[in-house]
Amino acid sequence: DGYKKVKGNKLSALVDRSGLPLACTVFPANIHDSQLYEPTVEAFTIPEIQVHSSIISADAAYDAQMIRQYNRKRKIKSNIPTNPRSRVHPKRGRPRWFDPILYKERGAIERFFSWIEAFKKIVPRYEHYEHSFLGLIHLACAIMIWRVMG
């Protein structure tokens, strides 16, 4: 999962390991990243299929109890590093699971945002309405997938 701030809006995206988009959502920029997590993951759900990803890697900004509980309810492992700035005292008890080797593969989200920035119409955000901006994002994502598949 990742985000990109674009003129008062945040683009939140869910990508696979190769950087191809699975779900994209646009939100106002005054919302914290941890509150964008659930709507972005829910945008990926397919009604007929109940199988979800087994592991989700996210940035330390997503180190929140509500995100970990959300993932636990859906049987998803959270590969999120502990954010030391969010705690006054270190957490006692069993340490949370974290795989640093798997976390290094988060470069896929950076690759996705560099591909998005290649579309010159999207980066400066000429559209006034969020739905038209999201439409361009979806078009860019479709072109990305078509280029890789074709």
Q: Please report, in tens digits, the pLDDT of each residue of the chain (150 residues total).
A: 555 554 567 888 988 888 889 899 888 877 888 888 889 888 887 666 666 567 888 888 888 889 989 988 988 888 888 877 766 666 666 667 888 888 888 788 888 888 888 887 776 666 677 788 888 889 999 999 998 887
What pLDDT is attached to residue 146? 92
Q: Is 75 left (phi over 0), alpha (psi -120 to 50) or beta?
A: left
- 58: closest CA among 80, 36, 43? 80
What pLDDT is attached to residue 90? 65
Return d(Cα 67, Cα 39) in angstroms, integer. Answer: 11
For residue 122, which amino acid is it? Answer: I
- 27: closest CA among 142, 117, 137, 106? 137
Pull the structure tokens for residue 124.
Answer: 């400066």
Residues 5, 29 contacting (CB under 8 angstroms): yes
Residue 84: DSSP 8-state: G
Residue 92: DSSP 8-state: P
